[in-house]
Every structure is written in C-alpha cells, then in structure tokens.
Amino acid sequence: MIDPQTYLAAFLVGLLGGVHCVGMCGGLVGALTMGIARPSQGGVLAILPFNLAYNLGRVASYTLAGALMGGLGVLLVSWLPVYHAQRVLLGLAGIFMVLLGLYLGGWWPGLVKIEALGGALWRRIEPWGRRLLPVRSPRQALLLGLLWGWLPCGLVYSVLIWSVSAGSVVRGALLMLAFGLGTLPNLLAMGLLASTIAAWSRKPMVRRAAGATVAVLGLYTLWRLV
C-alpha cells in the first residue's frame, strides 16, 4: 500500500524532528544517565550500553505500536471494496505526510495537540518507569526504554496515525521502525555528547528543506488519487 520513499520520509521525520525529540525525551535520557547507579559510571564508554539499550527498547515500542496501527488499518479497509480501500489509505498517508512536512519545516505546530490523546495511558505506565531508577544494568535500561516509548508525543502519534495507511501489520511496523531509527542520532547524542548530526538537524534551512521534501511526497501521494 505504501511506496519505498514513504519509509525514507518517515526516517526524515524522525531525524529532522530532532528539536521536538530532544524537548520531549531529552530530559528522560538525562534522567537515565544521571540515574545510572554510581558503580556503573565511568565515562562515555561505560554509559554507551545503557543508552543503546534504552533506545533499542524505545524503538521496539514504536515498532510494536506501528504493527498494531497497521493491523487497525487492515481492519478498517476490510469493510470497503479493495479499490476504495486503497484510495482511502493513500489519502490518509498523503494528508499526514503533508502535515508532518509542515510541522518539520516549522510552518504549522498543530500536530503537538495530538499529545493529549495518550495522557490517560501514560499515567498508568509512568510509575512503572520510575521503579526502574536508578538503572543498574543495560537490561533495566532496555525495560525503561520499552516503557518510555509510550510517552505521549504529538510527533510519534502523528506517524502512528500515518501508519494506519500502511494497510498491513508488517508495513505499519516498518514505517514506525524507520521513524524510530531516524530519532536515534539526536537522542543518542543527548545521552552521550553533543554531536554534529544533532546540531545539523536543528538548522532552520535543513529542517525547512526536509519539511518541504516530506510535504512534496505527501502531495505526490495525493496527486495519485486524481
């Protein structure tokens, strides 16, 4: 149901949405780093396995959520004839690609309002995450990442709604996996050191170019419906 360039667009949304990712999750990564039990601390290399495990858990949660939303897409289109189902999915994908492009470029912040949707779920999950601090092992960091991956985030939720358009469990999971991989450079940099990639992704011209690229891909997707 979705073209290969759609996965690239999802990756770009994760990569160039770095400012939002750092704002939402940077404090959590910092808490993870500060919450590592003192005997485990010993510089960047000692912390690296913890941050890798945390981010692996977070991306795994995104992928699982994408699979669930892809499955929801299958359920929704099962009520429609195949031709109409394909058009509905293409239209949904195109609309959210345009909206995400506008968000990335800084032209429209409306997607942030979607964060309120996950508040009730997060209030149940968040206390479990606190019980894992201080983090004494990469296994704990992995479990923490699996939980924090459900943190209410307008950017994540927007891509999740987009993944409904994938039309399959596997493609929905792959779309969210691509997005999750895109978020890694910024959040790994937050957990370790300032990085060239993180700084590059925050440049207004880079964000606008990426936003325009994603929006154009969305418009192309919508054009295919004509």
Q: What is the pLDDT along the chain (226 residues), one digit of tens a residue?
A: 567 778 988 898 888 775 555 545 555 555 555 555 544 445 556 777 888 898 899 999 999 999 999 999 888 878 877 677 778 888 888 888 888 888 878 888 777 677 667 777 778 887 887 788 777 888 988 998 898 888 777 778 888 888 988 889 999 999 999 999 998 877 776 555 444 555 565 677 877 887 888 888 889 888 888 7
Domain around 90: 4-223
Q: Cα separations (Å) of 216 from 57, 128, 221?
A: 32, 41, 9
The 10s digit of each residue's pLDDT in 15-74 is 877 555 554 555 555 555 555 554 444 555 677 788 889 889 999 999 999 999 999 988
Q: In the chain, which ranges are continuous DSSP H helix? A: 4-16, 18-35, 44-77, 82-104, 119-130, 138-148, 154-164, 169-191, 196-201, 204-223
> Structural domain tally of the chain?
1
Count the residues in the chain.
226
